[in-house]
A and B are shown apart, each in its own frame.
Chain A
Amino acid sequence: MNNIETAKDSDAKVFIDEVSNIYMASTYYIFKQQSLINQKGGDKSALFGKPFINNIKNAYESKFDKKFPKENRRLFTTLLKAMIDVMEDNRTLIYDDELSFKGLIPAIFAFQLSEKLRRKGLGVKIKFTNFPSSIRNKLNLPDLWEVTAMENFKRYNEKAYFDDEATLNGIPAYRYFVPMKLERFCLNCHGIPKQNPLNIGLQKSQWSNIDMTGFEMENWQLGDFGGGLSVTIYKKDFLELEQLCELNYISTFACHFFALE
């Protein structure tokens, strides 16, 4: 591998790590806003547009104790814009005062965001996944690479795994897996019936092990392995993102014309 390729791989690692952190910060913010999302009435403007992005930036800086990355990459801009779009898609739901639980939980927000990115055709794929026996939505089932990454995490307690020689669908790709340990907020759905908000105020004999989303609770504990975030960027798309405006005249014109960057 020559120096240029090594440098690119190293750039890719930093980049993919930042993408995953932004993604996690956004889902963390969505969790923190569950009361606002589900409440009747009130000012919900913090969930839309630029204020929403500013709040995600704050969540990022608070969660990872570092500055939010500079938005000088097209994918960052696109990612943040996709987050705004997802919230816009849910505007009617969020403002529906007749629904007490709207279902816009972190996992659903994350899934919608991934779907939005996929439709933009950026060559970036992000998903929460877990071992097949622990997965709720079969669309999040892991592939072999992800299973191996999870097994390595369990075996060697790796923090995160970056692979610059991976493939997805036979196409060379950068792949990144960040394991997640269950945080307190995860336990509302994945913990034990005692932690189920639906059981608050009920006798123990009346407790349900079905969470607010309609799934059976897993009885997981704080700190248990909760799957992880899998991020894939096709190498060709990473290079295109980097060089789009430098190497291709038409795209440069388009980039400047539409201020895509």
Chain B
Amino acid sequence: MRTKLHIYFCLSFFCSGIINAETIKVGVVEFPPHIDFSVNISKSKAHQYVDDILKGIYSKVVFKTYSRGQALIELDSGTIDLLFPVDVYEEKLRHLSKPLFSTVPGLCFKKKNFIPILSALHRLKGLNIGVATGSPVLPELKRSGVNLIILTEDDPLRQAVEMLMSDNLDAFYHPSPMQIYNLDNPLSKKLACSKFHGYPSGFYLAVKKNMRDETYRTIDEAFSHALDIKSYDDFYLENK
């Protein structure tokens, strides 16, 4: 299917004669399982999907991996043209019109304390819930009477897991708990996560501030068209 997707986009753009001889530089930040730095980046599904689309427009696509903080600096300075996947609302970035994919936030618990259905918000009342500093939290969670404990260390996930294991937290909030609670992640042996269904957030390709409008339009239309034809979610599941 990946080959098909690539051929389709190449055909689409060759036919329309808009293949661009320029190079496009794309920053990538880690977002497992979609972007996984522990293996060759080209094996990550989100990389493959984005690569296929951009190769239909540009003759050369260069990807470079960054930490989140560094990536934002590079995008701001314009040394990279695109950056993904990012929560653009959190970072207030210029971005393509459609999200590449959406995730649903949730809570991760010790297995013995697992609460599977989070719409039963009253069950959360009084619990100590860890939240990474600066992380936007669902208003519903704030209103449910939980005690939000701000995680201030550089690696908030590590801090959260340690506090959870030592019973200093009842759960921690994560914008995409399925990054943790999936069979490929060893943490899924210790924790179990549930989601706030109905409250998805989109993860986008951000674009540099000074990208020319015409370039933006070309890239945006290509992604919009691609997502209509074959959503990233479908691509991911088919190529898993």
A-side residues, CB < 8 A to B, are 81, 85, 88-89, 91-93, 95-96, 98-99, 101-105, 108, 111-112, 115, 119-121, 136-137, 139, 213-215, 254, 257-258
B197 and A112 within 8 A (CB)? yes
Query: Which of the residues B1, B198, B240 comes within 8 Å of A115, measured between beta carbons?
Result: B198
Contacts A88-B237, A96-B111, A115-B197 hold; do A103 and B182 have CB atoms under 8 A apart? no
Stretch from B77-85, B116-124, B165-173 forming part of the interface with A:
B116-124
CA distance A218 to B51 in the complex (A): 52
The tally of CB-CB contacts under 8 A between chains A and B is 75
Query: Which of the residues B111, B123, B178, B240 comes within 8 Å of A214, measured between beta carbons?
Result: B123
Contacts of A93 in B (CB 8 A): 116, 181, 192
Asked if B200 lies at the interface with its beta carbon under 8 angstroms from chain A, I say yes
Stretch from B129-137, B151-159, B228-236 forming part of the interface with A:
B228-236
Query: Which of the residues B8, B115, B192 comes within 8 Å of A257, measured between beta carbons?
Result: B8
B125: min CB distance to chain A, Å: 11
Query: Which of the residues B102, B114, B183, B230 comes within 8 Å of A91, measured between beta carbons?
Result: B183
Contacts of B117 in A (CB 8 A): 103, 105, 108, 213-214
Which interface class (under 10, 10 to 19, 20 to 34, 35 or more) fits B?
A: 20 to 34
CA distance A30 to B183 in the complex (A): 22
Contacts of B4 in A (CB 8 A): 257-258
CA distance A93 to B183 in the complex (A): 9
Query: Which of the residues A92, A103, A136, A257 comes within 8 Å of B116, measured between beta carbons?
Result: A103
A229: min CB distance to chain B, Å: 17
A85 and B183 within 8 A (CB)? no
A108 and B197 within 8 A (CB)? yes
Asked if B44 lies at the interface with its beta carbon under 8 angstroms from chain A, I say no
Asked if B176 lies at the interface with its beta carbon under 8 angstroms from chain A, I say no
A120 and B116 within 8 A (CB)? no
Residue pairs across A and B with Cβ atoms less than 8 A apart, 20 shown, are A85-B233, A85-B237, A91-B183, A96-B111, A96-B188, A98-B111, A98-B112, A98-B192, A115-B197, A115-B198, A119-B231, A120-B231, A136-B119, A137-B119, A139-B119, A213-B117, A213-B120, A214-B117, A258-B4, A258-B229
Contacts of B120 in A (CB 8 A): 136, 213-215
A117: min CB distance to chain B, Å: 12
Contacts of B8 in A (CB 8 A): 254, 257-258
Would you list which residues of chain B between 181 and 240 have a CB under 8 Å from chain A?
181-183, 188, 192, 194, 197-198, 200, 228-231, 233-234, 237, 240
B115 and A111 within 8 A (CB)? no
